[in-house]
Structure 1
């Protein structure tokens, strides 16, 4: 029986993004750090980077995910992590969708402040 390749954001992100765009037609696709991403109200809430998903979440949630081993700091420049962004390695489609929904809710709340 052939083994399934490990999930990556490159395969999981497009399907999750399509579902979110169908649910929220006001959201838009765009590029963040040269990668495909999603934004609402002009603010990005997630993007695919290599084999990982990167999402914007509250700083406390980012710290929780990193401490629990589910995420890693998002550091496009070594030693300079992006505040309120976390990298989720090798997500499957369900994981992408779950974190993108969480990130969208966070960013939407920021827009209302």
Structure 2
């Protein structure tokens, strides 16, 4: 494991520790591999994860993703098929944005339901 991905995993573990005890939040899905297998979820919906490329990724409103992207905090997430996901931000590893704060924002966004 590279130093960067080890750091990403450590920082994500801190986010998990911070949010795992929140109501209706779960971590991963037992028996599942691949996309979202170790992601943070609320009501069964993913709101924060580490991608297969080793990026910390959060689901936020499209306008918020665009705002953070314009500020240089990250870019729209590409899950690998060349189509950018407009409500998902892949956070730059060197970004000054707080991962727990972004994950909490994502939890609030995804958890509010229909």
Pairwise same-fold verdict (TM > 0.5)? yes
Q: Structure 2 regions of 5+ residues with no counterpart?
A: none
Distance (Å, rounded) in 2 between the aligned partners of 1:83 and 1:69: 16
CA distance in 2, matches of 1:91, 1:30: 26
Question: Where does 1:49-64 land on structure 2 (aligned, <5 Å)?
Answer: 49=51, 50-64=53-67
What is the Cα deviation at residue 8 of structure 1?
Answer: 3.3
CA distance in 1, matches of 2:111, 2:43: 8
The structure, 1 or 2, with the larger RCO (C-alpha pairs under 8 Å, 6+ apart) is 1
**8 Å Cα contact 1:29-1:38 kept in structure 2:** yes
In structure 2, the residue corresponding to 1:102 is in which secondary structure? helix
User: In 2, are the aligned partners of 1:9 and 1:96 still within 8 Å (CA)?
Assistant: no
CA drift at 1:35: 5.2
Q: What are the equivalent positions in structure 2 for 1:50-89 lying under 5 Å apart?
A: 50-89=53-92
Root-mean-square deviation (Å): 2.4
Q: 2:111 aligns with which of 101, 108, 112?
A: 108
Q: TM-score, normalised by structure 1?
A: 0.78
Gap runs ≥5 in structure 1? none
CA separation in 1, counterparts of 2:84 and 2:17? 28
Runs of 4+ in 1 over 4 A off after TM superposition: none
Tell me the TM-score normalized by structure 2.
0.78
Aligned length: 105
Structure-1 residue corresponding to 2:20: 21
